[in-house]
């Protein structure tokens, strides 16, 4: 799997991604059209089709873009302390989305379409793999340093991502308090397994 930090969005790409971001937040996934993205972009639909053949292609690129932003936010952090890094990853996954309810709504719609759209399915799979790779690296680092118990890092990582995805779904379906519950549950689970 390619490191998303190897991929960088060119300037028009970046602008189209920002326009997609705004259009998704405003209209949701089902009502998203290239026309609406073009309106946010301030150019014609042809200007978007120059880069992306279909709405699906554009949305797959948008999922890359979200992963890249996530990875950037993690790379900015300087600490190498495993406990701090794990907390930071969980904060990025469970605290940051609180400001982005509309985006979470659109992403859940896209997730629900994964069984019907192979390109979405692949991208969600890859993004999940990449985030698990980051979490697992931190857990293994902590094990090597002797600050974490010698656990099955793959399993603990998947369990934490299950809590993250539960929070993502519950915050959309049931309300935002769910992210806070999940952040606490993730900390409790990590504590119980790793210390």
Please report, as ranges, the residues that interact with a second copy according to CB under 8 A. Answer: 28, 30, 105, 108-109, 111-116, 121, 124-125, 128, 155, 158-159, 161-170, 172-174, 178, 181-182, 184-185, 188-189, 191-193
Max intra-chain CA distance, the chain: 57
Residue with smaller CB distance to a second copy, 17 or 186: 186
Nearest approach in angstroms of CB 121 to a second copy is 7
Is the Cβ of residue 88 or residue 110 nearer to a second copy in the bound state? 110
Helices 82-94 and 177-194 cross at an angle (nearest 10°) of 160
Report the residue number, 77 or 192, with the smaller CB distance to a second copy.
192
Q: Which is nearer to a second copy, 12 or 166 (CB)?
A: 166
Question: What's the min distance (Å) between Cβ of 140 and a second copy?
Answer: 18
Concatenating the DSSP letter of every residue in 24-65 gives HHHHTTTT--HHHHHHHHTS-HHHHHTT-SSHHHHHHHHHHH
- What are phi and psi for residue 148, nearest 5 degrees? -110, 150
- 103 three-state secondary structure: helix
Q: Find the shortest distance in angstroms from Cβ 76 to a second copy.
A: 27
Q: Shortest approach of a second copy to residue 88 CB, angstroms?
A: 20
* CB-CB neighbours of 9 under 10 Å: 16
The least distance separating a second copy from the CB of residue 24, rounded to whole angstroms, comes to 13
Select 77 or 173, whichever has its Cβ closest to a second copy: 173
Q: Taking Cα atoms as reference points, which of 137, 1, 4 lies closest to residue 66?
A: 4
């Amino acid at each position: 799997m390619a490191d998303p930090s190897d991929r960088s969005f060119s300037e028009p790409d970046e602008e189209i991604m920002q326009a997609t971001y705004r259009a998704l937040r405003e209209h949701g996934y089902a009502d998203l059209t290239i026309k609406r993205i073009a309106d946010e972009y301030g150019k014609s639909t042809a200007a978007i089709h120059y880069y992306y053949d279909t709405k699906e292609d554009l949305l797959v690129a948008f999922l890359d873009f979200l992963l890249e932003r996530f990875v950037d936010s993690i790379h900015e952090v300087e600490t190498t302390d495993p406990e701090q890094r794990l907390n930071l990853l969980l904060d990025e996954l469970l605290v940051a989305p609180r400001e982005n309810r509309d985006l979470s709504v659109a992403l859940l719609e896209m997730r629900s379409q994964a069984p019907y759209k192979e390109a979405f399915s692949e991208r969600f799979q890859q993004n999940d793999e990449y985030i698990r790779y980051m979490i697992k690296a931190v857990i293994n680092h902590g094990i090597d340093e002797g600050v974490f118990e010698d656990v099955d890092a793959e399993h603990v990582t998947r369990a934490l991502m299950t809590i993250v995805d539960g929070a993502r779904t519950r915050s959309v379906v049931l309300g935002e308090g769910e992210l806070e519950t999940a952040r606490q549950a993730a900390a409790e689970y990590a504590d119980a397994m790793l210390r």
